[in-house]
């Protein structure tokens, strides 16, 4: 990742700082880029010497203890500040949350930029990180696109380093932003079927935003959730009104007896859309441990995710209208299959995790849902037209 920070000096003059994440060719410093918070690459430094000593030890408890002590020493050398003038080691920043910093914490572009600004009495004004180069095989990265900092390494670190600055709210933590009320598509004494608007939680979450489940309970009394949709995804959902109905619907979802289709708008690109008009995408997915809720393509440990697709139209503005049919139910399955280079190579429009935020909604809509009525056994299909 490359990072850019706009700053202002004590005379009110504005300038730009540049940084890269990690190292380049084994080097932590390059002309034109801010230096690392702490340089571990010095060949005659303590880290390199101690690392060589530990590597020469036989495998066993002594080597493991020495390696852990060296890692703790590293995080004590990385000292970071915030706009309030406070300075802590990275180990202390994470300890405040009862956490241990992962390896590599502090070497990303954003903390490098902020620390350089504080060290040189510069006021941070605006910052962004974007990808440069080919995408890693496991991730969804497109050259030139801006991406949010990871939650595992940079989340706790940047939260501390940004204290004292006036910053915009994290868009990933935004409150209820749905532009319309939910729509009840069907009701009987056993089930409710509703159309969830984009921007509304399906069930209560860690924020105080009202969820679709709570909205239904306000109107119908006790209602039970049976499946989920991401907050940013709109479309049809079924809810149970009795415990028995909930149990039966959950069994159908778990047994892959429920059929679903989704409509998505994929972003325009300067490259032609070279994929077949219909087909199947199969990629193994796993959670990105250090950047949840993002998913990775993990060919060693991932679980297979399979999605059918049909291109409905290539629009004049270059966007692609696609219908997806998920055959498995992995987290962010359609979003990753759309964006990854081994999928369709085009993010869903408005996807803040796997594409670029454009200020609008995520153009992903649960269009149809087919299941057997938990009371009568009748096969039922419900459709909710895209917004």
Q: Quickly list DSSP for 281-327.
A: EEEEEEE-TTSTT-EEE-TTTPEEEEEEEEEEEE-TTS-EEEEEEES
Q: Strands of the chain (E only): list them.
A: 2-8, 14-20, 79-81, 87-89, 123-130, 183-187, 191-196, 224-225, 234-240, 259-266, 278-287, 295-297, 303-314, 320-326, 364-372, 379-383
Contact 267, 140 (CB under 8 A): no
Express each pLDDT in 273-330 by its tens digit: 989 999 999 999 999 887 888 899 999 999 999 999 999 999 999 999 999 999 999 9
pLDDT at residue number 36: 94
Q: What percent of the chain has pLDDT over 70?
A: 96
pLDDT at 44 over 80: no
- Please enumerate in sequence order all residues whose Cβ is within 8 A of that of 170, keeping only pairs 6 or more positions apart, or say none: none
Euclidean distance between CA atoms 97 and 369, whole angstroms? 42
- Mean pLDDT on 169-181: 62
Nearest Cα residue to 156 out of 75, 226, 223, 211: 75
Euclidean distance between CA atoms 268 and 18, whole angstroms? 29
Report CA Rg, the chain.
24
In angstroms, the Cα distances linking 169 to 3, 162, 174, 285 are 20, 12, 7, 30
User: At 333, is the pLDDT very low, low, confident or very high (cuts 50, 70, 90)?
Assistant: very high
More confident residue, 208 or 274: 274
Nearest Cα residue to 146 out of 384, 352, 340: 352
SS3 content of the chain, % helix, strand, coil (to 5): 20, 30, 50
Q: Which of 230, 232, 288, 384 is catalytic?
A: 230
The pTM of the full predicted model, rounded to 2 decimals, is 0.75
Name the β-bridge partners of 4.
18, 128
pLDDT at 175 over 60: no
CA 324 to chain centre: 21
Report the phi/psi class of residue 309: left, alpha or beta, with left for phi > 0 and alpha for psi in -120 to 50: beta
Contact 263, 367 (CB under 8 A): yes
Long-range contacts of 299-303 (CB under 8 A, 24+ apart): 299/137, 299/138, 303/328, 303/330
- Mean pLDDT on 131-142: 81
User: At 179, is the pLDDT very low, low, confident or very high (cuts 50, 70, 90)?
Assistant: low
pLDDT at residue number 291: 82
If you average pLDDT over every residue of the chain, what do you get?
Answer: 91
pLDDT at 207 over 70: no
Q: What percent of the chain has pLDDT over 90?
A: 65
Express each pLDDT in 352-383 by its tens digit: 888 876 667 899 999 999 999 999 999 999 99
pLDDT at residue number 261: 97
Q: Is the dihedral of CA 128, 132, 135, 136 positive or negative?
A: negative
Find the range with the poorest average confidence among 36-50, 135-149, 162-176, 204-218. 162-176
Cβ count near 54 (within 10 Å): 16
- Mean pLDDT on 346-353: 91
More confident residue, 69 or 216: 216
Catalytic (active site) residue 321 = no
Helix (H) / strand (E) element for 334: namely helix 333-339
Query: Start-end ranges of CATH 3.30.2350.10 in the chain?
Result: 175-387
- Mean pLDDT on 158-182: 76
pLDDT at 220 over 70: yes
User: At 171, is the pLDDT very low, low, confident or very high (cuts 50, 70, 90)?
Assistant: low
- Does residue 259 have a cis peptide bond before it, meaning omega lies within 30 degrees of 0? no
Express each pLDDT in 67-93 by its tens digit: 988 888 988 999 999 999 999 999 999
The arrangement of secondary structure in 175-387, i.e. its CATH architecture, is 2-Layer Sandwich (3.30)
Contact 146, 127 (CB under 8 A): no
pLDDT at residue number 176: 46
Cβ count near 280 (within 10 Å): 12
In angstroms, the Cα distances linking 368 to 233, 260, 377, 378 are 13, 6, 18, 16
């Amino acid at each position: 990742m490359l990072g850019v920070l706009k700053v202002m000096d004590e005379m009110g003059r504005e300038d730009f700082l540049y940084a890269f994440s990690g190292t380049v060719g084994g080097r932590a410093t390059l002309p034109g880029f801010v230096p690392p918070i702490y340089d571990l690459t010095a060949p005659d430094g303590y880290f390199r010497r101690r690392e060589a000593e530990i590597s020469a030890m036989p495998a066993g408890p002594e080597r493991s203890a020495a390696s852990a002590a060296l890692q703790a020493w590293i995080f004590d050398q990385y000292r970071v500040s915030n706009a309030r003038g406070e300075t802590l080691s990275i180990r202390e920043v994470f300890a405040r949350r009862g956490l241990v910093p992962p390896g590599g914490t502090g070497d990303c572009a954003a903390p490098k930029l902020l620390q350089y600004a504080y060290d040189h009495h510069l006021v941070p004004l605006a910052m962004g990180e974007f990808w440069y180069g080919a995408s890693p095989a496991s991730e969804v990265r497109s050259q030139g696109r801006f991406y949010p900092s990871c939650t595992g390494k940079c989340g706790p670190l940047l939260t501390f380093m940004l204290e004292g600055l006036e910053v915009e709210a994290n868009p990933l933590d935004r409150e209820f932003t749905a532009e319309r009320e939910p729509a009840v598509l069907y009701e009987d004494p056993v089930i409710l079927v509703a159309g969830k608007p984009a921007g509304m939680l399906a069930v209560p979450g860690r924020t105080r935003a009202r969820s679709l489940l709570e909205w239904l309970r306000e109107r119908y009394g006790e209602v039970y959730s049976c499946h989920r949709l991401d907050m940013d995804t709109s479309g049809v959902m079924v809810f149970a009104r009795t415990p028995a109905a909930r149990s039966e619907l959950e069994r159908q979802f778990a047994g892959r007896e429920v059929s679903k289709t989704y409509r998505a708008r994929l972003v325009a690109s300067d490259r032609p859309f070279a994929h077949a008009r219909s087909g199947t995408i199969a990629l193994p997915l796993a959670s990105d441990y250090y950047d949840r809720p993002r998913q990775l393509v993990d060919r060693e440990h991932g679980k297979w995710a399979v999605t059918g697709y049909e291109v409905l139209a290539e629009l004049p503005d270059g966007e692609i209208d696609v219908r997806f049919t998920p055959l498995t139910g992995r987290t962010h399955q359609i979003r990753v299959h759309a964006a990854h280079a081994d999928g369709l190579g085009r993010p869903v429009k408005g996807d803040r995790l796997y594409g670029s935020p454009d200020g609008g909604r995520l153009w992903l809509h649960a269009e149809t849902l087919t299941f057997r009525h938990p009371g009568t056994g009748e096969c039922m299909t419900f459709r909710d037209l895209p917004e």
